[in-house]
Amino acid sequence: MSKIKFQNPQGMHDILPEDQPYYEAVFEAAKKVFEFYHFKKIDTPILEPADLFYRGVGQGTDIVEKEMYTFKTKGGKDILTLRPEGTAPIMRAYLQHGMQSMPQPIKVWYCGPFFRHERPQAGRYREFHQFGGEILGERDAVADAELISINYAILQELKLGDLVMKINSIGDDACRPEYRKTLNKFLKSKKTGLCRDCQKRFKTNPLRILDCKNEKCREILADAPQSVDFLCEDCHAHFKEVLEYLEELKIPYILDSGLVRGLDYYSKTVFEIESTDLEQKNQGSLSGGGRYDNLAKILGNNNAVPACGTAGGIERIIALMKAREYKFKPFTPSQVFLAQISPLAKKRSLAIMEDLRRANIKVAESFSKDSLKAQLGLASKLGIDNVLIIGQKEAIQGTVMMRNMETGKQSEVKQEEIIKEIKQRLKEN
RNA sequence: GUGGCUAUGGUGUAAUGGCAGCACAAGAGUUUGUGGAGCUCUUUGUACGGGUUCGAAUCCCGUUAGUCACCCCA
């Protein structure tokens, strides 16, 4: 025998049965809210052409530069990537299937795994799960607001309160260049006072400096030029409208001029929701999103498709659910336990199981254990009061023994009357 | 990608260079068709690969994985 022990790949995890209820709860919450808002579910392949992300997400971004799982297929012709995010694939599907010619906007939602080759840490994994929604073909600010509202509703559905929403507008092609220029000038003049990280960021990604947590930097940046002050008329009006909707919805928000999303395709509205819990804050935002009016063009479409989207990090949300001790709906245990003794009874018991299933009665069993003792032990461990016992004698007579575990009382019941009798007993409890 | 910490049965832990032990869990049994307790017994481990040493779970190196921070992001 080999001594090798297989382990999971770094940053990728088994979702064990005990954690499944959390994933289900998040999925159900997302499904419920999205469907209420008339979003249709969509699934795109886990693999996409690498170019989709190179072009869509942006060559300069970290996701594309360092974090993608990209490989050649066997023929060597295709270069594929494990999807690192959901928006570009959905825009691809939208364009590919001619959804422009359907009534606009197209509203879709999704839920599934995504992959980024990063060093794992709290709230950050190489395989992680997101749910998200996209509204394609709609430039109106109401779409932005709707997505934010949906995001909020999903988190509230999961009983997660104490959230902060940060929102910002990063402008569009018309106004962003001007802002960048001014910001660069400002940063250059203050460069010496900034922390070492920011010095580095100045070259690599100056917008990120605005997000620095260093207190000294924050002081300096307090009077940095803000993107909102540079918005062109169109962007300004759009952003104002989004905020008006949020006020109408009574969703609390913070204008955060430091909020800059890392992907190239964003324009105008960007937002993030995070927990106010300090520990959870370190795990990054729970969900985020924004508008990406340029993505379609970046992907080679002749016309721009105004669109916006949002995505939630399921692992991060679950971490918060656990921290807040999320209460699940009480689990309904099996209503009866079926015990068998003797080979003949064992054969009969599978058929009885089927009768029970058709009658929609949840039943537990342990057919592989032959000792009645062990079977009753299990029934009691599972907390099931009603046990059906079928042995050689009963199998021949066409009856079963019905035992109440609490009182210890037993009675014989004809096999045809099992369903009726069980329903009767369940009603009594 | 850079740096710190960690790794002993399924789980939680002990052994500080000298016999790998304990608890829980799991399984079997406790006289053959009646459960929860008790008792008896059993299975399962030093992540992997090297090195130092008479002798390594223990010290060193590498790998893998976990975890945390940076970077960045959901």
SS (H, E, C) A239-278: HHHHHHHHHHHCCCCEECCCCCCCCCCCEEEEEEEEECCH
Task: State percent of chain A over pLDDT 70.
Answer: 96
What is the spatial distance between Cα A206 and Cα A176, in angstroms, rounded to a whole number? 13
What is the spatial distance between Cα A195 and Cα A146, in angstroms, rounded to a whole number? 38
Q: Read off the pLDDT of each residue in A322-331 and give the average, rounded to a whole number.
A: 81
Terminal-residue alpha carbon distance, chain A? 54
Q: Read off the pLDDT of each residue in A355-364 and give the average, rounded to a whole number.
A: 91
User: What average pLDDT is seen over chain A?
Assistant: 88
What is the spatial distance between Cα A199 and Cα A191, in angstroms, rounded to a whole number? 7
Nucleic chain B contacts, protein chain A, residues 215-244, CB cut-off 7 A: none
Q: Read off the pLDDT of each residue in A336-356 and give the average, rounded to a whole number.
A: 89
Name A347's Cβ contacts closer than 8 Å, sequence gap at least 6.
Answer: none
pLDDT in tens, A66-91: 889 998 888 878 899 999 999 999 99
Query: Can you give the pLDDT at residue A151?
Result: 94
Q: What global pTM score does this model have?
A: 0.88
- The strand pairing partners of A387, in sequence order, are A337, A403
- The strand pairing partners of A255, in sequence order, are A167
Nucleic chain B contacts, protein chain A, residues 260-299, CB cut-off 7 A: 260-263, 272, 282, 284-288
Determine if strand B comes within 7 Å of the CB of A397: no
- In the complex, which nucleotide's C1' lies nearest to the CA atom of residue A127? B74
Chain centre to alpha carbon of residue A7: 25
Determine if strand B comes within 7 Å of the CB of A344: no
pLDDT in tens, A247-287: 999 999 998 887 877 677 888 999 999 888 766 677 788 99
Determine if strand B comes within 7 Å of the CB of A409: no
Determine if strand B comes within 7 Å of the CB of A372: yes
Query: Who has greater pLDDT, A130 or A18?
Result: A130
Query: Can you give the pLDDT at residue A327?
Result: 84
In strand B, which positions have an atom below 7 A from any protein CB?
1-3, 26-30, 33-36, 47-49, 64-74
Query: Does position A163 have pLDDT exceeding 60, yes or no?
Result: yes
Structure-token pair, residue A312: 């939630």
pLDDT in tens, A189-246: 877 777 776 777 777 677 777 777 667 777 777 778 888 888 889 999 999 999 999 9
Alpha helices in A158-265 (DSSP H): 176-190, 196-204, 206-209, 215-221, 233-249
Per the omega criterion (within 30 degrees of 0), is the bond before A105 cis? yes
Query: Can you give the pLDDT at residue A429?
Result: 64
- SS3 of A383, please? coil
Confidence band, pLDDT 50/70/90 cuts, at residue A156? very high
Query: Does position A2 have pLDDT exceeding 60, yes or no?
Result: no
